[in-house]
A and B are shown apart, each in its own frame.
Chain A
Amino acid sequence: MSKVRQELKTIEVLPNLTGVIIFGVAFAIRFILFQFSNITEILGNRVEIVTPVTSFTRLTEGLYLFDNGVPPYDGGAFHQAPLFLACFQLLSYLPNILIPLTYIIADLLIAYLLANITRIKQHLYKDFPRIDVELYEGKPKEIDPWIVSGLYLFNPLTVASCLSRSTLLFTNLSVVLGTYYSLRNNKSYGMFWIAMATYLSFYPLMLVIPSILMLTNNTNLKGKKIENEVYSCAGLYIGWLTGLFILSYLLVDSWDFMQSTYGVILLLPDLTPNIGLFWYFFIEMFDQFRSFFLVVFQLHAFIFVVPISIKFRNHPLFVVFLLSGIMAVFKSYPSIGDASLYLAFLPIYSEIVKYMRYNYLTTNIFCYCSILSPIFYHLWIYAGSGNANFFYAITLVYTVGNIILLVDSTFSMLRREFDIWNPELRHCEITQK
């Protein structure tokens, strides 16, 4: 087993024809679509794709203020991390083509890392017991890592999110990088990227636990104490996060960004519609209960972290998948970019797909929402023949679809585990006591 761990650092997916074709086509699609500026404009203004905390338009506004020496957070329109200002200011000195290229490359990088993560996961699970249907001539049947990349790259949600120039892409990149380095047992990089993801959009805070699980799962064999390892991980995380905050402070020369970024994410002053649950609820909320229900909603997003981590402590990557899904549903400003991230993790656990019971339903819900949400939004805002309930109903359906998918995959994972440990009971129905 320890040999397996030591091999981790050298594992790499080897490029093959499938990979080259997938990446080439994905690059071409994005590059060509980026040439039509009205497509990026339209996508960049869709409430389903960009939110007040990820909008590129708002970033441009903040950048303009920053360039002109005005405190960027004074306008009340810009809610993104100060590091974006520095990076995009740098990009603005370079040729224009670099901004779309940055987005394309970030997307392709996520896909490449996903392939690597798949490979590492397959390597880690090599000696795990399996059910016999998964074996083909004595060898386990496994998904080609490039297929995982392809499923991410050709997911319409990913493409739309990338073309909208939503800055959520960089959060997703940080999450994937963090997961990748944690899996490779690289403590400091892993913690850095999780800290970066937290810094960019707060909610990835919950991914600290699965990352620590990945890192400690490897080390307990080397005779080190788990506690020390956990402390050092937590210390690294806090250190990196503090470092990022101080760097931001130096960039904008005030702590205003805390209120304008995390304050906005937590306290929800901007009630622009999105596909989440918060906006409608807090429009209708009586003022007196607003703060209370804010606490309830935010705690609710975090309540699942510990139980899931305990239950799946042997499958930290699966915890990352579930928590990304929970973030995509229960965060204050979700967009389809969040869904594209957790959906990308699902094919890594391709072996559970055969246990899933509602594939047909969830696929349909996703299609149904993709078509109806722009229509209902149009009816509400432009045609005036519908009201807010139309759009909110669709966001509810979308949420329910996501939750069914998450619950279904959790069930499948547990059922597969059960079947592995109790082969004799495989054909019995499981009911709760």
Chain B
Amino acid sequence: MEKVQDFDKSRRLIIISFWVVILIGLPLWWKTTEVYRAQLPFTEIEEWSKWEAFDLDFPTTFILHIADVKSDVNDYKTFTNMIENSIMSKYNSNHNDTGYPKSIRFPIKIEVVKWNAWMNVSKEGFNSDLLTFLVNKNGQYGFYILPGNNSKTRVLVGNQRQAIVEIGNWNIDEIKNIISNLILSLFLPEQAAIKKFIREPSAEAKVDVDSMRTMKYSPMYQVTFSLMNGDPSTLLVDWDIKQAVVKYLKPFVDKISMISNLTVDSQIQHYSRLTFEPQKNLHNDKNYFYLTPDLLPHFINAAEWNLASAVSSYPTLNFILYVPSKNQSPLYIKDSKENIIENNAFLIPRWGGVIINNPDQSVGTHMFTFDELKSVMSIFIMQLRGLLGVQDVWLEARSVLDSSINVDFMPTPNTAITIWELDSLVRRRIAENIVSTISTLKSLSQLVAEIPNMVVLDHIQTEVLLALDSLKKSCISLHTGQYEIALQHAKKAIERAESAFFDPTMVSMLYFPDEHKYAIYMPLFVPISVPLLMALLKELKELKELKTKNKKKE
């Protein structure tokens, strides 16, 4: 009997010892599967995304230097008001569209200055004289207005932020009309673009040519120039790309570095064949090959051309100078009307540009010299401008303006981007970055709110807070018209928001609904728990029986 009791006791102890370990395990279970969530500023993000915290100003100041001519244009104050009203009424007319947030504004300021020295100014000396007047700051533009010799109105655009307007018919209404039209045609397209960003934060929402062509913003792009040689057995090619890049591209890279840094590299690839046979010209005795517009999308041989770069993870812009093989040359591009395109180049939206060049194949080697590359590089730079979203504000304005107004340009230093274009691009990038930061943060907060199992680590919280802080700073700088500072903050904001959103610790948690948890626990714990539970239940039952027996005995 004693033996049996001893046996029972040790069995009970064994069951207890198993359960003790499990009880020790329970708090550890709780602790180790706890979902760590740093607090995110949800309400603040919500305010931003509803444009409540949002107060965007894009102020512009126009300094009108008006020639001191004896006429009725002497009451500058009323004149200022007249122009301001005329411009603001146009600006506001667009506000009637629904869907614009009230808090986006384009305030303008007009300053009128009496210009005495106008008589001395000949067109040749115009540039150097006027530079001293200008505050070199984005958002401030000077117009020099003087009466013209004939009745025609002419505009001469300077290479800084200034323009000379020669007005044929010198009276106050005419001046007002011309100046306000000029300003409107210069700035309305940009405003429309900015408003569009805000209305449709995702650029993909609505397809239009510009947004399709322009790359998604990145603070850094890699630009790769590739010389593709179709058949090195008949022609060996080389190019003087280093010198060409330094000479032709570097000024542009330096200018645009304020918005995005470009790193440039180059390569030569041999045996880069096309995936298809180009069409052969059969109509007349001229023997050439050509590509039709429907063939162009297949031009890039993605499978064989090694264009992916392992150097950086930033988006790459590819520029290809293609030399066709002997049995496919000369090779031209035809447009949809069957005309050969003159520059033999095409742009691939959001990817890069291609130029086809047909050098003389008879010699066996061909070196693209520095001079030869000039035309090539100028096409590439045009394509690069398009890809980076540079818009020629004056050309656009000219197409809108009255045809009687004659627009001329002063020769610009060779930077491939004028200061007007750069300013406009800066403003558009600020708006775009602010808007995409907000939408990224909004998606992040939605994701975190929807998936309760998602771990939010402290550094995510830090990034989000810093992004919001940069957003605020960017908006404050915008108020005071400091566009450069606003751009730097907007860049930081988007970088931080994206690094929080694409953080690996967030992505790995994306696929954890509760059902998965059960699927993870079940195979391990059900088989273990069944014998343990059964043993426990049996033991409890026996104890109960023992008690009732003892009672009966009593």
Contact = CB atoms under 8 A, between A and B. Distances in A.
Contact of A286 (B20, B520, B524): B520
B32 A307 contact: no
A7 to B, nearest CB: 28
Given A292-B29, A296-B524, A421-B3, A303 B14 contact: no
A307 B14 contact: yes
Nearest to B13: A310
Contacts of A302: 21
B29 A303 contact: no
A288 B512 contact: yes
A289 B508 CA distance: 12
A406 to B, nearest CB: 16
A246 interface: no
A311 B14 contact: yes
Contacts of A286: 508, 512, 520
Interface string B496-509: 00000000000011
A414 to B, nearest CB: 11
A294 to B, nearest CB: 8
B414 interface: no
A294 B25 CA distance: 11
B510 to A, nearest CB: 11
Contacts of A294: 32
B33 interface: yes
A305 to B, nearest CB: 8
B416 interface: no
Contact of B24 (A291, A299, A421): A299
A295 B25 contact: yes
Contact of B33 (A289, A299, A303, A421): A289
A278 to B, nearest CB: 14
A287 interface: yes
Given A288-B33, A295-B29, A310 B17 contact: yes
Contacts of B258: none
B378 interface: no
Nearest to B505: A287
B3 A292 contact: no
A287 B508 contact: yes
A310 B17 CA distance: 9
Interface in B1-36: 3, 10, 13-14, 17-18, 20-21, 24-25, 28-29, 32-33, 35
Given A289-B33, A289-B520, A292-B33, A299 B21 contact: yes
A288 B21 contact: no
B198 interface: no
B10 A310 contact: yes
Contacts of A306: 14, 17, 20-21
Nearest to B520: A289
Interface in A296-321: 296, 299, 302-303, 306-307, 310-311, 313
Interface string A264-302: 000000000000000000000011110110111001001
25 contacts: A286-B508, A286-B520, A287-B508, A288-B509, A289-B33, A289-B520, A291-B32, A292-B28, A292-B29, A292-B32, A292-B33, A295-B25, A295-B29, A295-B32, A299-B21, A299-B25, A299-B28, A303-B18, A303-B21, A306-B17, A306-B21, A310-B10, A310-B13, A310-B14, A310-B17
